[in-house]
């Protein structure tokens, strides 16, 4: 989407001029009767990405998602889907793009109560002119993907709210659409069911790698689902970034206020905050390990042997080994905290309580970094210190 604008009203030229002078959405409406729906929005969505657009009611997010499938034509700007500008194409081309590339899932399920679940999922394929056998086969496959294969012959009234929303997702999957637009799809669900649906969407996305534009006003939902998040205010994108970028570096006071109560422990992972590990070979002398720690200004070193990571040794234990003329192995603790890079920080509280740096290892058990306990506790408390400046070279 490039320089996309959407105004509702007749005096659009005057509204645009007032926007350029810095007037707000409410002022422009009062003066001209024109509603600013979307103002100068620019973004790209990568294939296989979940791109979340969030904002308060009236921020323009629902208008924007309807512009993406041509339901709302832009006042100006370009909306390209695989190179086709649906803002300027013919109606036939737009219908073809919708038929082949885009599916939409709404907040309200809009299921036909007199049709079975299978028939509901297959209905969109029927509209597209697909034959009976093919559309029922595709519909059954889509229901299996969302875990509703056994409910194919049930009617909507026999399903829970979460199940009915899964039917909505199955309708999108049945069309083999590359892009799925989801306009607050879980907004009508109870909190517990909503959380289950969020997890199921993430699991489905890991398997199918669809391109998803997801609309929500719920910050925690955005943080959980989004590879990137766009925050809207008065029709504009205020900030676009990963959840970690937005929480750590809000663009302005508006975004900072949004982030004030976010659970940082669920946003950041071990991999996000890991630092380079201080390491030493298992055959090294204790004095060598001590010198390593002095140079790094660290309190513990991880010991690497022929079989990989063997343990961790603290400065105090290594100093004792030096004093007693012992071996490095005398200072090594084999029972050490270890985690993977994708572990959320809130799950590291117990490990951090040991006082030892938490080793971060890859899928093959290789040490890739460490998470210091103070970093975990700082993020969980919401008071994250500024990074220390680099020490000047000696």
pTM value > 0.85: no
| 138-150 confidence digits (pLDDT tens) | 999 999 999 899 9
Asked if pLDDT for residue 211 goes beyond 50, the answer is yes
CA 84 – CA 106 distance, rounded (Å): 24
* CATH 3.40.50.970 assigned to 271-381: no
Asked if pLDDT for residue 394 goes beyond 50, the answer is no
Nearest CA among 92, 60, 67, 91 for reference residue 81 = 67
Mean pLDDT of 13-34: 89
Q: Are 68 and 1 in contact (CB under 8 A)?
A: yes
CA 4 – CA 72 distance, rounded (Å): 12
Largest CA distance in the chain: 87
Q: Where does CATH 3.10.580.10 sit in the chain?
A: 271-381
63 SS3 class = helix
CA 125 – CA 156 distance, rounded (Å): 19
- Point out which residues pair with 233 in neighbouring strands: 236
| 331-390 confidence digits (pLDDT tens) | 999 999 999 999 999 999 889 888 999 999 998 899 999 999 998 888 777 665 555 554
Q: Are 164 and 197 in contact (CB under 8 A)?
A: no
**pLDDT the model gives residue 161:** 85
**pLDDT the model gives residue 334:** 93
Mean pLDDT of 44-67: 93
| Number of other residues whose CB lies within 10 A of the CB of residue 139 | 27
| 318-331 confidence digits (pLDDT tens) | 999 999 999 999 99
168 SS3 class = helix
Averaged pLDDT score across all residues of the chain: 90
DSSP letter, residue 150: G
Asked if pLDDT for residue 107 goes beyond 80, the answer is no
Q: Are 224 and 79 in contact (CB under 8 A)?
A: no
Asked if pLDDT for residue 127 goes beyond 70, the answer is yes
- Alpha-carbon Rg for the chain in angstroms: 27
**pLDDT the model gives residue 392:** 44
The two beta strands, 76-78 and 2-8, are antiparallel
**pLDDT the model gives residue 263:** 81
CA 251 – CA 254 distance, rounded (Å): 8
CA 146 – CA 121 distance, rounded (Å): 12
Instruction: Report the percentage of the chain scoring pLDDT > 90.
Output: 62
Instruction: Report the percentage of the chain scoring pLDDT > 70.
Output: 96
Asked if pLDDT for residue 236 goes beyond 70, the answer is yes
Q: Where does CATH 3.40.50.300 sit in the chain?
A: 44-262
Sheet bearing 300-305, strands edge to edge: 279-281, 300-305, 308-314
**pLDDT the model gives residue 386:** 55
* CATH 3.40.50.300 assigned to 44-262: yes
- Point out which residues pair with 383 in neighbouring strands: none
């Amino acid at each position: 989407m490039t320089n996309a604008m959407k105004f509702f009203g007749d005096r659009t030229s005057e509204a645009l001029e007032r926007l350029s002078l810095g007037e707000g959405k409410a002022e422009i409406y009062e003066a001209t009767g024109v509603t600013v729906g979307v103002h100068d929005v620019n973004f790209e969505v990568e294939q296989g990405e979940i791109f979340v657009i969030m904002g308060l009611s009236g921020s323009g997010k629902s208008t924007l998602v309807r512009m993406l499938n041509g339901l709302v034509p832009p006042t100006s700007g370009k909306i390209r889907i695989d190179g086709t500008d649906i803002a300027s194409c013919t109606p036939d081309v737009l219908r073809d793009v919708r038929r082949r590339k885009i599916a939409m899932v709404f907040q309200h399920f809009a299921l036909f109560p007199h049709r079975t679940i299978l028939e509901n999922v297959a209905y969109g394929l029927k509209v597209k002119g697909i034959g009976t056998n093919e559309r029922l086969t595709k519909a059954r496959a889509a229901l299996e993907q969302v875990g509703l294969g056994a409910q194919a012959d049930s009617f909507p009234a026999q399903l829970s709210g979460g199940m009915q929303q899964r039917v909505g997702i199955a309708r999108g999957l049945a069309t083999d659409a590359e892009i799925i637009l989801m306009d607050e799809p879980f907004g009508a669900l109870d909190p517990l069911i909503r959380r289950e649906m969020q997890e199921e969407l993430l699991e489905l996305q890991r398997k199918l790698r669809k391109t998803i534009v997801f609309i929500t006003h719920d910050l925690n939902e955005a943080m959980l689902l989004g590879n990137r998040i766009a925050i809207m205010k008065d029709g504009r994108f205020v900030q676009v970034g990963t959840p970690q970028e937005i929480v750590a570096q809000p663009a302005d006071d508006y975004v900072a206020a949004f982030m004030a109560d976010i659970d940082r422990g669920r946003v950041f992972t071990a991999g996000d905050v890991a630092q380079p590990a201080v390491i030493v070979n298992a055959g090294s002398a204790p004095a060598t390990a001590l010198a390593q720690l002095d140079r790094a200004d660290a309190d513990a070193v991880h010991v690497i042997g022929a079989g990989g990571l063997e343990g961790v040794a603290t400065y105090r234990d290594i100093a004792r080994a030096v004093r007693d003329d012992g071996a490095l192995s005398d200072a090594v603790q084999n029972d050490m905290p270890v985690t993977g890079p994708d572990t959320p920080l809130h799950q590291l509280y117990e490990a951090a309580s040991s006082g030892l740096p938490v080793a971060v290892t890859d899928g093959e058990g290789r040490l890739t970094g460490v998470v210091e306990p103070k970093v975990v506790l700082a993020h969980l408390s919401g008071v994250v210190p500024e990074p220390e400046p680099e020490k000047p070279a000696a």
